[in-house]
Amino acid sequence: MDAIQALKTRRSCRHFSEKQITKEELDTIIECGLNAPSGSNKQGPKIIVVQDPDKVAMLSRLNAQVWGQDTDPFYGAPTVCLIVVPKDPGYDGTPKYALNPVKDGSLVIGAMQTAAFAIGIGSCWINRCKEMLDLPEGQAILKELGLEDHEGVGCCILGYPTREPKPKAIKEGRVLTY
């Protein structure tokens, strides 16, 4: 699928096969995420790929705990990517870069989701990434990876979709001319 078609028709996916996506598919999605624009080309966001079922289950429990729900927030997706960025106030502590890391991280997830859709992989942004990584268990993960000065932006779940995406109604009145 070409880029325009993917951008025009992309939908989030919440129904996944248990089968893991291939390394080639994952690498393509990650490459597209890493090529997202970033303020001053800082390329600050990092992608933590989690495919070990026990670790995915542990992260699901942490996310559900933050959410206060007794359900799997990852909808059974076999791959969970945590997109993390250097902590505010930015890349060098000056107001110049304040908030850019979170914006940069969002673009990475957007690029990953569009790339995933284009190659037939389902994806969804899952919230509460910062909150779950702020928990002691999350901090331990970041420490193990040498990322204790980072915080979560969002989780990007990936897997083979088991349902066809439906077209979405785009709200009217969102484009103005000045």
- Contact residues toward ligand FMN (CB under 6 A) are 11-12, 14, 124-127, 168
Distance from C-alpha of 33 to C-alpha of 89, rounded to nearest angstrom: 23
Considering beta carbons, is residue 28 or 63 the nearer one to ligand FMN? 63
Considering beta carbons, is residue 11 or 61 the nearer one to ligand FMN? 11
Instruction: Report which of 49, 103, 97, 83 is spatially closest to residue 151, judged by C-alpha positions.
Output: 83
Considering beta carbons, is residue 175 or 178 the nearer one to ligand FMN? 175
Q: Which residues pair with 123 in a beta bridge?
A: 158
Place of tokens 């994952």: 26
Backbone angles phi, psi at 99, to 5 degrees: 75, -15
Q: How far is the CB of 69 from ligand FMN (least distance, A)?
A: 10
Q: How far is the CB of 22 from ligand FMN (least distance, A)?
A: 23
Q: How far is the CB of 161 from ligand FMN (least distance, A)?
A: 11
Considering beta carbons, is residue 92 or 164 the nearer one to ligand FMN? 164
Distance from C-alpha of 102 to C-alpha of 37, rounded to nearest angstrom: 12
Q: Would you state the structure tokens that stand for residue 90, as one six-digit string?
A: 């930015």
Considering beta carbons, is residue 29 or 126 the nearer one to ligand FMN? 126
Q: Length of the chain in residues, anyone?
A: 178
Alpha-carbon dihedral 42, 137, 26, 111, rounded to 10 degrees? -40
Q: How far is the CB of 11 from ligand FMN (least distance, A)?
A: 4
If 0-12 CB within 10 Å is exposed, 13-18 middle and 19+ buried, where does residue 176 land?
exposed
Q: How far is the CB of 93 from ligand FMN (least distance, A)?
A: 26
